[in-house]
Amino acid sequence: MNDRVLALYEMAFRDRYQESFEDEFQELFSQIMELAYPDGDFVRVRPWGGMGDRKNDGYLISRRIVFAVYAPRNPTASGIRAKVTSDFSGCLPHWDEYLDQWVFVHNDREGLGPDALKAILELNKEHGTDRAIAWGREALRKRVLDLSLRDLRSLFPEVPTIEDFIDTGMEQIQPVLDHLERAPVPARPDRRPVPEDKIEYNLLSDATRALITLGMQPAQLVRNYYRRVSDELLRDQTAQAFAEKYQELRTSGLNPDEIYWQLRKWVGGTGSPSPTREVAVYGVLTYFFEECDIFLRPEEGQDRDLTN
């Protein structure tokens, strides 16, 4: 599997991880684990009658791990700490003799909060080093990216193939362009050529670079469209909306890869995800990246401090 295909599935995983909550997130976790640990090694545990699931959201037989999954829509520090403590203590009476490790799985993209971390450290102090640990986005991402292409396709059917990038035409891209916002154009828009080192200057990850490169073919369709369109202001007004959205995201303190993800969601809108729509979104993003309407333009002699 090449890096570009892997980057597409990494982005699809990020979507699901950051936008799934409660039962939906637990289902995503269970699907990943069943594919990563096949042949019944990972076992889903569902609530049963009045006994519930006995504080066990999944069990990995080969490693004797009990999982607790927690993905509220509006987490609080006190709520997460209480969940860690109560689920671990509630698990032991039922599973202690089968348990070498207890894993707290969460969907907080920013990482584990200090109160939850302290609760886990306290459990380890009482019950033994590494008896309790936490899994976040990175732990699940690694397991997803180790899956076969067949398993990835079953997990993320909306992800386009390389053939989709080749075959997608203007009829698939047009609906995405039609819903894009427009903004007043500056008196003197920047028409300078795109610097060759723009990707490197913006410190984008290899995965994001791969997605920008994948978008180059559909981006050419976008370029041809704006050359033919009768409304001369359409491209510049749309470009200005992109520039303002980028600046808003950058001012909020997001890193370059997170900004790209947010721009992708903004471009995609609320339409139902499909392989061809994803191709269109990547093509539109690459076009405006190449035109220097989003992300920073390196200036001659300028250093790489992206924090100002």
**Interval 285-300: pLDDT, tens:** 999 998 877 888 776 5
H/E segment holding residue 102 = strand 101-106
Decide if pLDDT at 49 tops 60: no
Residue 149 within any structural domain of the chain: no
**Interval 142-184: pLDDT, tens:** 999 999 999 999 999 999 999 999 999 999 999 999 989 888 8
Residue 40 within any structural domain of the chain: yes
Indicate whether 196 and 232 sit together in one domain: yes
CA-based end-to-end distance of the chain: 38
Burial code (b: 16+ CB inside 10 Å, e: under 16) for 87-101 equals bbeebeeebeeebee
Indicate whether 69 and 188 sit together in one domain: no
Query: Which range has the worst mean pLDDT, 47-51, 77-81, 138-142, 196-200?
Result: 47-51
Residue 10 within any structural domain of the chain: yes
Max avg pLDDT among 192-206, 224-238, 254-268? 254-268
Indicate whether 90 and 189 sit together in one domain: no
Decide if pLDDT at 308 tops 50: no
Tell me which of 28 and 291 has the higher pLDDT.
28
**Interval 82-135: pLDDT, tens:** 999 999 999 999 999 999 999 999 988 777 888 899 999 999 999 988 899 999
Indicate whether 58 and 28 sit together in one domain: yes
Indicate whether 135 and 44 sit together in one domain: yes
Indicate whether 102 and 165 sit together in one domain: no
Section 11-17 average pLDDT: 94
pLDDT score, position 187 = 61
Domain of residue 82 covers 3-144
> Residue holding tokens 């791990």?
65
Indicate whether 48 and 82 sit together in one domain: yes
Indicate whether 133 and 242 sit together in one domain: no
Indicate whether 255 and 180 sit together in one domain: yes
Q: Chain centroid to CA 206: how far?
A: 15
Indicate whether 102 and 133 sit together in one domain: yes
Residue 303 within any structural domain of the chain: no
pLDDT score, position 83 = 92
* 123 and 132 Cβ atoms separated by less than 8 Å: yes
pLDDT score, position 50 = 52
Residue 27 within any structural domain of the chain: yes
Q: Total structural domains in the chain?
A: 2
Indicate whether 280 and 167 sit together in one domain: yes
Decide if pLDDT at 52 tops 60: no
Residue 308 within any structural domain of the chain: no
Distance CA 302, CA 195 (A): 13
Residue 298 within any structural domain of the chain: no
Give the long-range contacts of residues 141-147, CB within 8 A, separation 24 or more.
141/10, 141/13, 141/14, 141/17, 143/32, 143/33, 143/36, 144/9, 144/10, 144/13, 144/32, 144/36, 145/6, 145/9, 145/10, 145/13, 146/36, 147/35, 147/36
Tokens of 58: 């999944």
What CATH number is associated with residue 41?
3.40.1350
Cα 156-282-238 angle, rounded to 5 deg = 140
Tokens of 4: 């570009």
Decide if pLDDT at 273 tops 50: yes
Residue 221 within any structural domain of the chain: yes
* 68 and 105 Cβ atoms separated by less than 8 Å: yes
Indicate whether 138 and 236 sit together in one domain: no
